[in-house]
Structure 1
Amino acid sequence: MPYGPLGRTGVQVSKLGVGTAPLARDNTTPVKVADVIAKAIDEGINYMDTAPNYTNGEAERRLGEALRGKRDKVFLVTKTEADTYEGTMALLEQSLRHLQTDHVDLVHLHNLGHLERWSDLDFAFSEKGAMGALRKAKEQGKVRFIGASGHLHPSRFHYAIDSGEVDVLMNAVNFVNQHTYDFEHKVWARAREKHMGLVSMKVLGGNQNNDFRLPKADYENAIRYTLSLNGLCTAVIGI
C-alpha cells in the first residue's frame, strides 16, 4: 500500500481509505465489520473515516469495537454536523465514546455545502460556533486536525480554505462529478496553494444499492481516475 503526507499535517496516510457509512446497513454484522477492518489494516490501510450520523451512530460504535487493540494503527476521522459550540462538543464526546478512544485525528465540518446546516459560516467559524469547539478540543488533545467535507456548492469551501484553520478537505470527486461540481478545479487548485490535505469520497459514485454491481474494470478505472488527481492524498472507499 503506498503512503504519502496528508498535506501540511505531515501525517503519512494510505492512498486508499475506508469509508464506514455502510457499516451498519442491511445484514452487515459486527463480526463481519471486525473482519473487514482487520483485513484493511493488514493490507496497509490506515485511514478510517466515519461520522456520528451514519446509521444513527451505529457505524461509529461498530468501528470502535473493530478497532479495539488497533487504535494506534489508524488515522481516525469523524465529523460534526452541528454549527454551534455546544452541539459540536456534544457530538465529539459522543464520537469518542462510540469509538472507544480519547482522541480522534481529524474532525470534519460535515457537508459544508449544506446551506441549511451551515447557513452562517461567520458564526460557525466564530468562538461560539463549531470551529470554536474544535479549537478548544485541539487544546485539550481530543482532536489533532480540522477538516471540511462536502458534496455540494464548491464556492463554500473557499471560506474554509481562506480561514487558515482547516487542514484537510474531503469532497465528492469522481469522473462524473468533474462535469457537475468540479471540485478538482474550483476548490482543490486553491487548496493546493495552502498545502492542504485532499481526500476524495464518492469515488465509485456513492451507490447504496447492494443489488447493483459494476464490472470490476469500471471500479478499477474509477479508482484510478481519482488517484491520478494532482494533490490527492487519500481516496475513501465505502465498505
Structure 2
Amino acid sequence: METREFGKTGEKLSILGLGGFHLLEISDREATQIINIYLDKGGNYIETAPEYGAGESERKVGIALKSRRNECFLTTKCHLRDKAGANKSIEESLTRLHTDHVDLLILHHV
C-alpha cells in the first residue's frame, strides 16, 4: 500500500486508514480478521475513539493488535477538556487498547 510522510514526524503512514467506528457492527473475531488483513496489505493507520460504542471499538482494536501493536500507527481521541477527566479517559483508552501508548491523540469535538 502506498504511504506518505506524516508531516515532520518521520512516520510513513498508509494513504488508507482504518477507522474503528464500524467495528461495532461485527464480532471480535471478524474485527480481528479485518484488522489483520488491513495490516497484511500494508495498511498501518488505525483510528478509534472511546465514544465509539462506549469503548467497544477500542476494546476490539486492542484485542486485534495484541501481537501486532508495533506494526501500526494507533490513534484515539479524547473529548474531555479538564486535566483529571482527560487523564482518566486516556488511561481507560490505553487499558482497552492493551497498550502503553498511542501514537496520536486527537481532541474530539473541537
- Whether TM exceeds 0.5 here: the answer is yes
Is 2:97 the partner of 1:99?
A: yes
Which residue of structure 1 aligns with residue 21 of structure 2? 21
- Structure 2 counterpart SS, 1:16: coil
Please state how far the C-alpha of 1:85 moved relative to its aligned partner: 0.6
Which residue of structure 1 aligns with residue 6 of structure 2? 6
Query: What are structure 1's unaligned runs of at least 5 residues?
Result: 113-239
Q: Give the residue type in structure 2 aligned to 1:98.
A: R
Looking at structure 2, the residues matched to 67 and 76 of structure 1 have their Cα atoms a distance apart, in angstroms, of: 10
Please state how far the C-alpha of 1:88 moved relative to its aligned partner: 0.7
Which residue of structure 2 aligns with residue 57 of structure 1? 55
Deviations 1:32-66 (A, max 9, x none): 00000000000000000000110000000000001
Looking at structure 1, the residues matched to 85 and 50 of structure 2 have their Cα atoms a distance apart, in angstroms, of: 12
Residue 65 of structure 2, aligned match among 64, 67, 70: 67
Q: What is the correspondence of 1:1-239 to structure 2 with a 5 Å cutoff? A: 1-25=1-25, 28-112=26-110
Looking at structure 1, the residues matched to 8 and 109 of structure 2 have their Cα atoms a distance apart, in angstroms, of: 22
- Structure 1 counterpart SS, 2:55: helix
TM-score (norm 2): 0.97
Once the two structures are aligned, what percentage of the paired residues are identical?
39
Looking at structure 1, the residues matched to 54 and 22 of structure 2 have their Cα atoms a distance apart, in angstroms, of: 12
Looking at structure 2, the residues matched to 39 and 52 of structure 1 have their Cα atoms a distance apart, in angstroms, of: 23
Q: Give the residue type in structure 2 aligned to 1:109.
A: L
| Higher radius of gyration, 1 or 2 | 1
Looking at structure 1, the residues matched to 10 and 54 of structure 2 have their Cα atoms a distance apart, in angstroms, of: 32
How many residues are treated as equivalent by the alignment?
110
